[in-house]
Amino acid sequence: MFVFVSNLIYNFFIAFGVIIGASVFAGIAALINNHPPVRTMFHVASSIKIWAVAVALGGTFSSFRIIEQGLIKGELKSVVKQIFYIVTALIGANLGYSFVKLIQRCGAIWIK
């Protein structure tokens, strides 16, 4: 049980970190290229959410292979575990995206 919960925490924070890290570095690149950094951060965060989930799960097909094998062999426990991993990674990626949106909104307030 402890391993399952720790893997959920890892999946959440890996997906969250991919979104935040990619957005921050895209913002730095936008500054270097003389483009608007906050808009670039928001665009990058919205376009890489699915990739953040794939990174958190350890590849694009491993979870789906485990779900398939679990359904064929009738092991519902592994299927439920993988669904929790996917949902947790989705929540982490969406929370990272929401955090970048919050930065964008705060930037709009501070500029005025």
Cα 88 to the center of its chain, rounded Å: 9
Ranges of each domain in the chain: 2-111
Contacts of 16 by beta carbon, 8 Å cutoff, 6+ apart:
52, 92, 93, 95, 96, 99
Residue given tokens 């929401």 in the structure block: 98
pTM of the model: 0.86
Q: CA-CA distance, 87 to 28, in Å (whole number)?
A: 30
Exposed e or buried b per residue across 38-52, where buried means at least 16 C-beta atoms within 10 angstroms of its C-beta: bebbbebbeebbeeb
pLDDT tens for the chain, residues 1 to 112: 789 999 999 999 999 999 999 999 999 999 999 999 999 999 999 999 999 998 988 866 677 777 777 778 888 888 888 899 999 999 999 999 999 999 888 877 776 5
